[in-house]
Structure 1
Amino acid sequence: MDCEGYCQYKSNPEGCTVYSLRKDCFSKKQKVMTHRMWEKYKDIARKNKLMATRKKLYKVRGSTIERSFADAKGIYGYRYARFRGMKSVQMQAYLTTACQSMKKIALHLTKKGLVAGYFYKVYDFIWFSFTKIKKDYRLLGIPKGFPTICNLSSAFSGNT
Structure 2
Amino acid sequence: MATDRSGIFIALGANLPSEVHGAPRATLEAAVQFLAREGVRILKRSSWWQSEAQPVSEQPDFVNGVIEIRTGLAPAALLERLHRVEEAFGRLRQTRWEARVLDLDLIDYRGLSMSGEGGGPLLPHPRMQDRLFVLLPLREIAPDWRHPVTGVAIDALIAGVNPIKINRLE
Instruction: Calculate the TM-score normalised by the size of structure 1.
Output: 0.21
Bigger radius of gyration: 1
More strand by share: 2
More helix by share: 1
Instruction: Calculate the TM-score normalised by the size of structure 2.
Output: 0.21
Task: Tell which has more relative contact order, 1 or 2 (C-alpha 8 A, sep 6+).
Answer: 2
